[in-house]
Structure 1
């Protein structure tokens, strides 16, 4: 059975997506097109390259999230050094590790650029903060004078996952201008509409979302630094958490976050396993009630009349 998949941003919690994907694959689903934002973009890129859920599980279990926040020379000088680096680079950490790791993992499947994939196979969402707009990669790259076929997927993954304040923006030079890109969740954390078409769809598009029981929980703010962190956490964890349209909710797998924060980079093996199993169970509950024909009849009836 064929399906498209759209993964919400979730930072380290994206491991839960892998559990859900594993359950769907066990039930016979294969992936035509995939898309994602931030941590969901990593999962989407691996699926597009041909990785199966069990392979992704092994990769992410071995992945050291702490390496994303490896100290730089500026961190030797404490908060003053961190503040100076942020002023200079607009981030506390480079984000280079994510790009390098993704590039190495994709290369094992013979994939480097978007041109190595079938057209339309993968879409990643980033935020262009210079021009104030959402960007879909690779579709929008020609607007920046860039050939999508030659653009590295690992760089796009980094663009989509450059959490503001934590990681440096990715900078592209367009003519004489520098254009800055950050986490796609800043503008669209759950673009489940990316693969929607007019008329009756040939196969379903499944959304994958992380949900929290602690939404709205108070955060401690004691000064400028904690204020900025609270601001970013609010953006990452509350964006698009308002009411989801029913037509989208019925095709979305909602995965509990197990009390884990988006930026909890010190995940233990037990944390990873909890997230994975939460994804498995969420997918089982979803499949028990999912019916594509009913979805088309109830939510795409207007399309059937065209």
Structure 2
């Protein structure tokens, strides 16, 4: 991957830069016109349900994916997403006047108009720290190395001062002793200042609930987009998410079978957040009433802000006014979550902590043969060389990697991933018929926290998503998907 440099005017990408990079893919999917659903509108658009996985800046690839789906004449009925997936889900929900409109091209405008590093809106030191962390893969090793040097130098100075005492009666002994004392004291004062500043930063970090960036810049950005598109309240969001085009119909093939109607066809949107005080997965906007008695006091942009609260990187999100109405929320918490009472306070962090790929949202036990598919977009990282080798040898190179001893970082990461993927993996293991609609985007080599990502890398991520969407459409078999869902439904019914 190319090295990302600091942003400047020449590094600003335009909508055309993105669309030109995937023009061939766009033309190809328009020409192929793959059948993916039995629900269509009068313009021939096909409708699907879409769930998008989280992944920080890698979410640009999700935008590339949905752009190509829309170019192929695919539109979205129900939507769900976590973190970066929640952001693209929000844009696909609020942009335009109808679900039949193309949304991703407008999302591109919002992306290109925004300086993404502005989302890093913490204390000035935080920006410098994060910038250095992103640019240097060995950042923490460098920090530890510098800390060691500082204390080694301090130790050497102290030893020199002790040694100088023995030579105090020698010619120039007193002068040398004084010089060493001044240097040592000055050095100690500098080290002490650094230590005190670090203590101050740690205290500041603690006061901000262990988050570096407030996230207000992002909140204001997504709020502005919502309001620009007529979404000022939770009711506005629900209305826009639930309003289906009036010209929806079954395709001719399904009409002939006479085994389905449009009855019960509804639409909604879901953003996943993790509430860490009560330790619960929260689905917004459905569960808004757990945190307020008056829905007009919560702006829907807060749902997206809550979902994308990457731990440590962003401060946890909270909803203003919660503590003042907490005593009136006991019944809601009891009915929804079985809790004895509402927690004293609430803190939302990234929904990906509990469910990074909320495909279970779309499960409906009453549907045997679906009228439209549930499409899922996931992000993964694998070295293309290893991937090519696996295809050639039919051997998983990760099996060899498992034989190697884990370092502490890998050990901690594996524990964290085991926890955060549990909800979604468990659902897919029990409902394997959904796997046919799930596709992965390989984002190997891109830093998911690089909000200062350069133009070429942003376009490359977009292309990765576009290529994955093309491959998905090429491989997807709608009739086989329906058969899988029907058979899976029968198996579950008989258990």
Q: 1:29 to 1:304 in 2, by over 3 A?
A: farther
CA-atom RMSD, angstroms?
3.1
Q: 1:39 to 1:295 in 2, by over 3 A?
A: same
Q: 1:169 to 1:46 in 2, by over 3 A?
A: same
Structure 1 match to 2:382: 213
Contact 1:165–1:232 under 8 Å retained in 2: no
User: CA offset at residue 104 of structure 1?
Assistant: 0.7
Q: Which runs of 5+ in 1 are unaligned?
A: 222-226
Task: Provide the C-alpha distance between the structure 2 equivalents of 1:251 and 1:185, rounded to a whole number of angstroms.
Answer: 20
Q: Which of 28, 34, 38 is the matching residue for 2:73?
A: 28
User: CA offset at residue 266 of structure 1?
Assistant: 1.6
Q: 1:219 to 1:276 in 2, by over 3 A?
A: farther
User: CA offset at residue 231 of structure 1?
Assistant: 5.6
Where do residues 1-306 of structure 1 align in structure 2 (5 Å cutoff)?
A: 1-50=46-95, 52-72=103-123, 79-90=198-209, 91-117=211-237, 118=239, 119=242, 121-148=268-295, 151-172=298-319, 173-174=322-323, 175=326, 177-198=344-365, 199=367, 200-213=369-382, 235=416, 239-240=420-421, 245=429, 246-303=432-489
Question: Any idea what the Cα deviations from partners look like across 1:21-44, whole Å, max 9, x if unmatched?
Answer: 011111111111211111110000
Q: Would you say how many aligned residue pairs link Structure 1 and Structure 2? A: 300
Between structures 1 and 2, the one with greater strand share: 1
User: CA offset at residue 111 of structure 1?
Assistant: 1.2
Give the TM-score normalised by the residue count of structure 1. 0.86
User: CA offset at residue 72 of structure 1?
Assistant: 1.8
Q: Show structure 1 runs of 4+ deviating over 6 A.
A: 215-221
Structure 1 match to 2:30: none
Give the TM-score normalised by the residue count of structure 2. 0.55
Between structures 1 and 2, the one with greater helix share: 2
User: CA offset at residue 149 of structure 1?
Assistant: 6.6
Task: Provide the C-alpha distance between the structure 1 equivalents of 2:62 and 2:488, rounded to a whole number of angstroms.
Answer: 31
User: CA offset at residue 144 of structure 1?
Assistant: 3.0
What is the SS of the residue equivalent to 1:262? coil
Whose Rg is larger? 2
Q: 1:37 to 1:44 in 2, by over 3 A?
A: same
Structure 2 match to 1:224: none
Contact 2:232–2:299 under 8 Å retained in 1: yes
Q: 1:134 to 1:266 in 2, by over 3 A?
A: same
Q: Which runs of 5+ in 2 are unaligned?
A: 1-45, 97-102, 129-193, 243-266, 328-343, 384-397
